[in-house]
Homo-oligomer: A and B are copies of this chain.
Amino acid sequence: MRVPVIIPCILSGGAGSRLWPLSRSLRPKQFLPIFDGESLFQKTLRRFPAGEFAAPIVIANANHRFLVGEQMGEVSAANGEGAIVLEPVGRNTAAPVAIAALRAAEADPDALVLIAPSDHLVRDGDRFREAVRAAKPAAQAGKIVTFGIQPSEPHTGYGYIRLAGAAGGVRPVEAFVEKPDLARAEAFLKDGNYVWNAGIFLFSARTMIAEFEQHSPEILASVRRALDAATNDLDFLRLDADLFRAVPDISIDYAIMEKTDRVACVPMDPGWNDLGSWSAVWETFDKSAEGNGSLGEAIYIESRDNLVVSDAALVSVVGLDNVMVVATKDAVLVAAKDRAQDVKEVVERLKVNDRREVREHRRVYRPWGWREEIATGDRFHVQEIEIQPGGAMSEQSHVNRAEHWVVVSGTLEITLDGEARLMTENQSAYAPVGTRHRLANPGRVPARVIEIQSGAYIGDDDIVRYSDADVLGAEGDCGWD
């Protein structure tokens, strides 16, 4: 019998607001480089080395497509035409699992698919892969194998799976259990036959499609329609927006796992943490003797068990215990660590006022690279811009502002009213009010530019675009709803 490959399917549609203000809806948790300088998304990609695993299918929100592309490139993750499926809106987990099964089945209905969320931390990749290997025969035999995490504490924030049979290897599942109260969670921990439901599954494409047909045919049918009408765009496969919006917004647990009789479970203990809040992040950090964990520069004076995450400023904590401080350039969060979940309340309040701090950082990613606002004042606006090799901004002009550029590194092609010229390090150029201009990077290394906009009116809406390379978000919605 032919041994089918395992196709990792990385689910990256989430936009968790619980790590605000470091996470923003346009740069959610899975893309934050908070562990050894890499993001959880990148760590997830690295969990599936070529050879043992096929190239991954990534399913992501359309608004994150440049982040996905850039972060995959940084870890040299293999991809190919249509390997990144873009969801125009978030539709919970049933839809992406169906997408993964259908995409895998196109090449081989017996292919095995491993569903892996992109926003969890897994410390021990070897143990994780051991568990996957242990699950493989059962998956080939038609089981949907879920991987349960051995509980280390009576956590009330996760769903549990009650296992049957004897300890070790692949075990039958007796039931999926909703988040318990503390007394029940303690009983579960003592009992020993309960594991955390981490949303990680292995199955053959054929099996999952059959189960969808039996238990949730409307999801499968609507996902098929959105896939059939999808369009290819280099590495991206863009799902049809209207058709995908019609897909039921349901979790895979509810759609399939709680209904199927094919489920089995491999318990594992790979150093898993869902990083569902800042206090969970604190748990994963290396800590000082006083229990303080930091990312960025921090000073503690008579303070214990605190978390500091800072992307720029030096943070000092004096005489406080169990506090978290998350400092970004435009928003600082200071909270009791046991109130970490209530960060959502702050985000809710900001959303009501449509505050930018919810949506994006000062640095925003674009198809051609990124731009970061570094200063705004009366009559001026300064941005740092990086254009990737081959990248080009849209051609545009402005009625009220002039723009100046200073090339800091790399080479830039600037086109002014149709006339192109090359500029390199330390050179500068200038587009007077009304001039059509376009910046592009024809080189092999990123080009870094400082842009100064100056004029009596410097609002974002003073722009006439002659192409759309720069438009982000017109098609998608990744708001924290």
Tell me the A residues contacting B by CB distance below 8 Å: 21, 299, 301-302, 310, 312-320, 323, 325, 327-336, 338-339, 342-343, 345-346, 349-350, 355, 357, 374-375, 377-380, 382, 384, 402, 404, 406-409, 425-426, 428, 430, 432-433, 448, 450, 452, 454-455
Least CB distance from A321 to B in Å reads 9
Tell me the bound Cα distance from A323 to B378 in angstroms.
34
Least CB distance from A190 to B in Å reads 31
State whether A375 and B375 are in contact (beta carbons under 8 Å apart), knowing that A312-B330, A343-B318, A346-B301 are contacts in the complex. yes
Least CB distance from A144 to B in Å reads 40
Tell me the bound Cα distance from A377 to B408 in angstroms.
9
State whether A408 and B299 are in contact (beta carbons under 8 Å apart), knowing that A314-B331, A332-B315, A375-B375 are contacts in the complex. no
Contact for A320 among B335, B378, B407, CB less than 8 A: B335
Dominant secondary structure of chain A at its interface with chain B: strand
Tell me the bound Cα distance from A328 to B312 in angstroms.
11
- B336 adjacent to A318 (CB under 8 Å): yes
- B378 adjacent to A409 (CB under 8 Å): yes
Contact for A409 among B318, B379, B382, CB less than 8 A: B379
Tell me the bound Cα distance from A336 to B306 in angstroms.
13
Tell me the bound Cα distance from A288 to B433 in angstroms.
46
- B380 adjacent to A402 (CB under 8 Å): no
Nearest B residue to A310, CB-CB: B332
- B428 adjacent to A432 (CB under 8 Å): no
Least CB distance from A427 to B in Å reads 8
- A335 adjacent to B318 (CB under 8 Å): yes
Give the number of times this chain occurs in the complex, counting copies.
2
- A402 adjacent to B426 (CB under 8 Å): yes
Jot down 29 A-B pairs with beta carbons below 8 A, ordered by A: A299-B346, A301-B346, A313-B330, A314-B330, A315-B334, A318-B339, A318-B345, A320-B336, A325-B332, A329-B329, A334-B334, A374-B375, A374-B382, A375-B382, A375-B450, A377-B384, A377-B448, A378-B408, A379-B425, A380-B408, A382-B382, A404-B428, A406-B452, A425-B454, A426-B432, A426-B454, A450-B452, A450-B454, A452-B452
Tell me the bound Cα distance from A384 to B378 in angstroms.
12
State whether A317 and B331 are in contact (beta carbons under 8 Å apart), knowing that A450-B380, A454-B408 are contacts in the complex. no
Tell me the bound Cα distance from A404 to B448 in angstroms.
15
Chain B residues contacting A378 (CB-CB under 8 Å) are: 408-409, 448
- B336 adjacent to A313 (CB under 8 Å): no
Chain B residues contacting A379 (CB-CB under 8 Å) are: 408-409, 425, 448
> Can you add 15 more A-B contacts, CB < 8 Å, to A315-B332, A318-B334, A320-B323?
A299-B350, A312-B330, A313-B329, A314-B355, A315-B334, A316-B334, A317-B335, A327-B327, A329-B329, A374-B375, A378-B408, A378-B409, A382-B450, A428-B428, A428-B452
State whether A349 and B299 are in contact (beta carbons under 8 Å apart), knowing that A334-B334, A343-B318, A357-B314 are contacts in the complex. yes
Least CB distance from A406 to B in Å reads 4
- B404 adjacent to A406 (CB under 8 Å): yes
- B345 adjacent to A331 (CB under 8 Å): no
Tell me the bound Cα distance from A409 to B452 in angstroms.
13
Chain B residues contacting A343 (CB-CB under 8 Å) are: 318
Tell me the bound Cα distance from A377 to B407 in angstroms.
13
Chain B residues contacting A320 (CB-CB under 8 Å) are: 323, 334-336
- A375 adjacent to B380 (CB under 8 Å): no
Least CB distance from A381 to B in Å reads 10
Tell me the bound Cα distance from A315 to B329 in angstroms.
11
Least CB distance from A229 to B in Å reads 41
Tell me the bound Cα distance from A176 to B339 in angstroms.
49
Nearest B residue to A337, CB-CB: B319
Tell me the bound Cα distance from A310 to B318 in angstroms.
17
Tell me the bound Cα distance from A345 to B301 in angstroms.
8
Tell me the bound Cα distance from A390 to B477 in angstroms.
53
Chain B residues contacting A345 (CB-CB under 8 Å) are: 301, 318
Chain B residues contacting A380 (CB-CB under 8 Å) are: 406, 408, 448, 450
Least CB distance from A420 to B in Å reads 20
What are the 9 A-B residue pairs with the smallest beta carbon separation, nearest first?
A: A319-B339, A318-B335, A319-B336, A374-B375, A380-B408, A402-B426, A406-B452, A316-B346, A315-B332
Tell me the bound Cα distance from A318 to B18 in angstroms.
13
Chain B residues contacting A350 (CB-CB under 8 Å) are: 299
